[in-house]
Amino acid sequence: MTIDVTRGDARWLRARHATTIGARGALARLRRNAASKGFTTTARVASCGPTSKEHVMDGKVLRQHRAAWFLTAALLGALVAWAGAPSVANAACNRGDFCLWEHANRGGGSYNWSGPDVNLRNDFFAPGVRVNDNATTAYNNGVASSSGLDDVLAFRDVGFKGPVLCVPLQTRYANLKSLGLSADHDVGDATRPGEPDGTWNDDISSYHWTTFCLP
Tens-digit pLDDT string for the chain (215 aa): 444 444 455 554 555 555 555 556 655 676 776 666 665 555 554 444 555 555 555 666 566 666 666 666 665 555 444 333 333 334 579 999 999 999 999 999 999 999 999 999 999 999 999 999 999 999 999 999 999 999 999 999 999 999 999 999 999 999 999 999 988 766 555 455 667 788 999 999 999 999 999 88
Residue 149 Cα to chain centre, angstroms: 35
Q: What pLDDT does residue 184 have?
A: 74
From 63, 84, 105, give the residue that closes a domain: 84
Q: Check residue 151 and give its pLDDT.
A: 98
β partners of residue 151: 210
- Counting the structural domains of the chain, the total is 2
106 and 206 housed in the same domain:
yes
Residue 86: the pLDDT is 38
Indicate if 105 and 156 belong to the same structural domain.
Answer: yes
Output the pLDDT for position 153.
98
Same domain, 108 and 192: yes
- Asked whether residue 114 is assigned to any structural domain, the reply reads yes
Whether omega before 86 lies within 30 degrees of 0, making that bond cis, reads no
Residues 68 and 149 in one domain: no
Same domain, 138 and 193: yes
Say whether both 165 and 140 belong to one domain: yes
Is 46 within the bounds of a domain? yes
- Across the strands, what pairs with 110? 101
Q: Are 143 and 209 in contact (CB under 8 A)?
A: no
Domain end marker among 21, 53, 84: 84
Domain's final residue, options 84, 109, 125: 84
Q: Does residue 32 fall inside a structural domain?
A: yes
Q: Assign residue 192 the CATH number of its domain.
A: 2.60.20.10
User: What is the reported pLDDT for 90?
Assistant: 44
Give residue 165's domain range.
Answer: 89-210
Q: What are phi and psi of 68, to 5 degrees?
A: -65, -40
Specify whether 174 is located in the same domain as 116. yes
In a domain, 215, yes or no: no
Q: What is d(CA 184, CA 203) in angstroms, rounded to the nearest whole number?
A: 7
Residue 108 shares a structural domain with residue 80: no
pTM exceeds cut of 0.75: no
Q: Could you give the CA distance from residue 173 to residue 144 in angstroms, rounded to a whole number? A: 19
